[in-house]
Structure 1
Amino acid sequence: MDVITPKRIRITIKTVRAIIFISVLLLIFFSTILFSILLFAKTQGAPSLTVSQSTILYASDGSKIGETHNGQRRYWVKLEDISDEVLQATLAIEDRNFYEHHGFDYKRIAGAALADLKAMAKVQGASTITQQYARNLFLEHEKTWKRKALEALYTIRLEMNYSKDDILEGYLNTIYYGHGVYGIEAASNYYFGKTSSELTLAEASLLTGIPKGPTIYSPFVHEERAKKRQEVILNTMLSEKYITKEQLQEAVVTKLIYKTKKEAVQTGIAPYFHDTVMKILANQLKMDEHEITTKGLRIYTTLDPDMQKKAENIMESTIEKESDIQAGIVAIHPQTGEVKALVGGRDYEKSQFNRVTQAKRQPGSTMKPLLYYAALTKGFTPSTEMRSEPTSFTYNDGKSTYKPSNFNDYYANDLITLLQAIALSDNIYAVKTHLFLGMEELLKTSKLFGVESKLDLVPSLALGTSPVRLLDMVNAYGILGNGGKKIEPTFITKVEDASGNVLYEHSLEPKQILEQENAFVATHLMTGMFDKRLNDYASVTGQSIAGSLTRDYAGKSGTTSTDSWMIGLTPQLVTGVWTGYDKDKTIDLVQEKAYAKKIWATFMEKALEDQPVKAFRPPNDVVGVYINPETGKLATEDCPVRRLTYYVAGTEPTHYCTVHLDDGEHDEKQPNKDVKSDDGWMNKLFKWWD
Structure 2
Amino acid sequence: MSTNRSLNTGRAAGQKTARFALKALKSILKCFVTIFLIGTITASIVGCVMVAYVVTSFKSSESIPDLTNINLNESSIIYVKNNKGDFVEEQRVQGANSIWKSFEKIPAHMQHAVIAIEDERFETHYGVDWKRTVSAFANLLFHFSDNEYGGSTITQQLIKNLTKDNETSITRKVREIFRAIKMERAYASKDQILEAYLNILPLGRVSGVGAAANYYFAKEVEDLNAAECALIAGITQNPSKYNPYLHPDNAKQRQRTVLYQMYKLGYINDEEYKQAYNQEIILKSSMQIVDVQDYYNDRITEDVINGLMQTYGYSKEYATNMYYYGGLKIYSAKDPAQQSKVEEIFKNEKNFPKHIKGDKEDPQAGIAIIDYNGRLVATVGGRGEKTANRIFNRSIDSTRQPGSAMKPIAVYAPAIKYGLITYSTKFADKKITLKDGGKWPQNYGNYKYPSMPVEEALQRSLNTVPAQIMEMLTPQRSFDFVTQDLHISTLVKSVRMKDGIHTDIEFSPLTLGGLTYGVKCIEMAAAFQVFGNGGYYNQPYTFYSVERTSDYGNEVLLQNEPKNDQALDEDTAYVMNRLLQRVVSGPHGTATTQKIKNLETFGKTGTTNDDKDYYFVGGTPYYVGACWFGYDNNQEMVSSQRSYAKSLWKKSMDALHSGLPKKTFDKKGNTVEKYYDYTTGKLATEGCPKKTLGVYKPEFLPGVCTAHGGGGDTADSE
The normalised TM-score by structure 1 is 0.57
CA separation of 1:599/1:635 partners in 2, compared to 1, >3 Å: closer, same or farther? farther
Deviation for aligned residue 1:610: 2.6
User: Which residue of structure 1 aligns with residue 79 of structure 2?
Assistant: 58
1:637 to 1:672, Cα distance in 2 relative to 1, 3 A: closer
- Matched with 1:432 is 468
Change (3 A) 1:405 1:315: farther
Other structure's SS at 2:565 match:
coil
Look at both structures and tell me which one has the larger radius of gyration over its CA atoms: 1
Residue identity opposite 1:355 in structure 2: R
* Structure 1 residue 595, shift from structure 2 partner: 0.6
Counterpart check, 1:139 vs 2:105: yes
Equivalent residue for 1:616, pick from 659, 665, 676: 665
Matched, 1:319 2:373: no
Select the residue among 459, 463, 481 that pairs with 2:532. 481
CA contact (8 A) 1:72 1:181 kept: no
- The aligned residue for residue 310 of structure 2 is 284
Does the CA contact (< 8 Å) of 2:72 and 2:321 recur in 1?
A: no
Counterparts in 2 of 1:38-187, with a 5 A limit?
52-61=73-82, 62-70=87-95, 138-139=104-105
How far does the alpha carbon of each residue in 1:616-639 deviate from its partner, in whole angstroms, 9 at most, with x for none? Answer: 222341111234555434567998
Identify the residue that residue 595 of structure 1 maps to in structure 2.
644
Is 1:558 the equivalent of 2:606? Answer: yes
Question: Over residues 533-576 of structure 1, what are the superposed CA-to-partner deviations in whole Å (9 max), with x where a residue is unaligned?
Answer: 3x3xxxx1012444x64311111110112111111112321111
Asked if residue 308 in structure 1 is aligned to residue 339 in structure 2, the reply is yes
Contact 2:95 2:324 in 1 (8 A): yes
Give the AA of the match of 1:526: L
- Most deviating of 553-562 and 623-632: 623-632
Match for 1:495 among 524, 546, 550?
546
Task: Report if the CA contact (8 A) 1:386-1:415 is conserved.
Answer: yes
In structure 1, distance between residues paired with 2:658 and 2:531: 23
Within the alignment, does 1:580 sit opposite 2:625 as a pair? no
Larger mean Cα displacement after TM superposition, 578-587 or 506-515: 506-515
Q: CA deviation at 1:457?
A: 2.2
How far is the alpha carbon of 1:265 from its aligned partner? 5.6
Q: How far is the alpha carbon of 1:530 from its aligned partner? A: 1.3
Question: Residues 72 and 653 of structure 1: is their aligned pair in 2 closer, same or farther, counting only changes over 3 Å?
Answer: closer
Q: Is the 8 A contact 2:75 2:328 kept in 1?
A: yes
Give matches, 1:343-492, under 5 Å: 343-347=380-384, 348-349=386-387, 352-370=391-409, 371-379=411-419, 380-389=421-430, 391=431, 393-395=432-434, 398-399=435-436, 401-412=438-449, 414-447=450-483, 448-455=485-492, 456-460=504-508, 461-466=510-515, 467-492=518-543
Q: Secondary structure of 1:277's match?
A: helix
1:527/1:554 contact within 8 Å kept: yes
Q: Deviations over 1:12-47 (max 9, x none)?
A: xxxxxxxxxxxxxxxxxxxxxxxxxxxxxxxxxxx9
Kindly indicate whether the alpha-carbon contact (under 8 Å) linking 2:570 and 2:669 is maintained by their aligned counterparts in 1: no
2:291 paired with 1:266: yes
Q: Does the 8 A contact of 1:332 with 1:339 survive in 2?
A: yes
The 3 A distance-change label for structure 1 pair 574 and 181 is farther
Paired residues for 1:8-47 under 5 Å? none
Matched, 1:571 2:621: yes
Residue in structure 1 matching 2:367, options 310, 317, 329: 329
Distance, in Å, in 1 between the alignment partners of 2:457 and 2:704 is 21
1:388–1:181 distance in 2 versus 1, CA, 3 Å = farther
Which deviations, in whole Å up to 9, do the C-alpha atoms of 1:647-688 show, x marking residues without a partner?
1114345646x9xxxxxxxxxxxx22675999xxxxxxxxxx
The Cα shift of 1:577 comes to 0.5
Identity of aligned residues (%): 26
Secondary structure class of the residue paired with 2:694: strand
Per the alignment, residue 574 of structure 2 pairs with: 520
How many equivalent pairs are there?
Answer: 439
Q: CA deviation at 1:137?
A: 7.5
| 2:520 aligned partner, one-letter code | R
Deviation at 1:420?
0.8
Change (3 A) 1:601 1:362: same
Give TM-score scaled by structure 2 length: 0.55
Q: Structure 2 counterpart of 1:289, which letter?
A: T
* Structure 1 SS opposite 2:393: coil
CA contact (8 A) 1:53 1:74 kept: no
Asked whether the equivalents of residues 300 and 543 of structure 2 are also in contact (C-alpha less than 8 Å), the reply is: no
Is the CA contact 2:96–2:324 (under 8 Å) kept in the aligned structure 1? no
User: Per-residue deviation at 1:528?
Assistant: 0.7
Paired letter, 1:138? E
Q: 1:320 Cα shift?
A: 3.8
> Could you say if the C-alpha distance between residues 141 and 439 of structure 1 is closer, same or farther in structure 2, counting changes exceeding 3 Å?
closer
CA change 1:328–1:429 in 2 (3 A) is: same
Q: Look up the match of 2:206.
A: none
Matched, 1:672 2:708: yes
SS at match of 2:700: coil
**Alignment CA distance shift 1:495-1:652 (3 Å):** same
Q: Take 1:49 and 1:564, find their aligned partners in 2: how far apart are those partners?
A: 46
Distance 1:498 1:427, change over 3 A: same
Task: Work out whether residues 685 and 711 of structure 2, in 8 Å CA contact, stay in contact via their aligned partners in 1.
Answer: no
Q: Give unmatched runs, 5+ long, in structure 2.
A: 1-67, 113-217, 221-287, 357-361, 493-503
1:648 aligns to what? 697
Residues 283 and 349 of structure 1: CA distance in aligned 2, closer, same or farther (over 3 Å)? farther
Equivalent AA in structure 2 for residue 276 of structure 1: E
Amino acid at match of 1:304: D
8 Å CA contact retained: 2:77, 2:328: yes
* CA distance in 2: counterparts of 1:360 and 1:598, whole angstroms: 21
- TM-aligned CA deviation for residue 462 of structure 1: 0.6
CA deviations 1:186-234 (Å, max 9, x no partner) are xxxxxxxxxxxxxxxxxxxxxxxxxxxxxxxxxxxxxxxxxxxxxxxxx
Q: Which amino acid aligns with 2:615?
A: W
Letter matched to residue 659 of structure 2 = D
The residue matched to 2:78 in structure 1 has which SS? strand
- Taking only aligned residues, the RMSD between alpha carbons, in angstroms, comes to 3.9
Instruction: Give distance in 2, aligned partners of 1:285 and 1:57.
Output: 20
Alignment of 1:528-567 (within 5 A): 528-533=582-587, 535=588, 540-546=589-595, 549-560=597-608, 561-567=611-617
Quote the offset at 1:490 in angstroms: 1.3
**Does the 8 A contact of 2:526 with 2:537 survive in 1?**
no
In structure 1, C-alpha distance between the alignment counterparts of 2:598 and 2:290, rounded to whole Å: 41
1:293 partner amino acid: Y
SS of structure 2 residue aligned to 1:632: coil
The separation in 2 between residues aligned to 1:136 and 1:509, in whole angstroms, is 41
Structure 1 unmatched ranges of 5 or more: 1-46, 76-134, 147-179, 183-262, 659-670, 679-690
